[in-house]
């Protein structure tokens, strides 16, 4: 399992390093969904355009001081990846997850 994870991380890292951005992110998209995956996909499609979001991969952002940031890999249909940090929240008393903003994750950032 560890070997497969390392292989996948190496593959994504190489393609992200070798990738050229395919789209310019559009304005801020504050979206809601019944669960985190649904909200994240909806927010990514709004932010980057549905044609530029084929798959997403995410994990907790290791540099966060709280648990409302996720590191997100956005893969386009050609397999190029860009890396972002998504800020989300669950409003008090609410049952929906809100994805509130996207922050570029620079290659110089130790946690990306």
- Please, is 110 exposed, middle or buried when counting C-beta atoms within 10 Å of its C-beta (0-12, 13-18, 19+)? exposed
As a residue count, the chain comes to: 112
Total-model pTM? 0.66
What are the structural domain ranges in the chain?
31-112
- pLDDT for 14 equals 46
Rounded alpha-carbon distances, angstroms, from residue 67 to 17, 72, 73, 94: 27, 14, 18, 17
pLDDT tens, position by position, for the chain (112 residues)?
655 554 455 545 544 444 434 444 445 567 777 788 888 999 999 888 999 999 999 988 887 677 788 899 999 999 898 999 988 887 777 678 888 888 888 777 776 6
């Amino acid at each position: 399992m560890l070997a497969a994870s390392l292989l996948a991380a190496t593959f994504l890292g190489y393609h992200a390093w070798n990738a050229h951005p395919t789209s310019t992110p559009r304005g801020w998209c504050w979206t809601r969904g019944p669960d985190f995956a649904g909200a994240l996909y909806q927010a990514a499609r709004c932010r980057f355009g549905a044609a530029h979001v084929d798959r997403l991969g995410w994990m907790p952002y290791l540099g966060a001081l709280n648990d409302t940031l996720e590191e997100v890999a956005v893969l386009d249909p050609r397999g190029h990846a860009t890396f972002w940090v998504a800020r989300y929240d669950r409003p008090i008393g609410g049952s929906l997850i809100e994805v509130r903003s996207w922050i570029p994750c620079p290659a110089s950032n130790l946690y990306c």
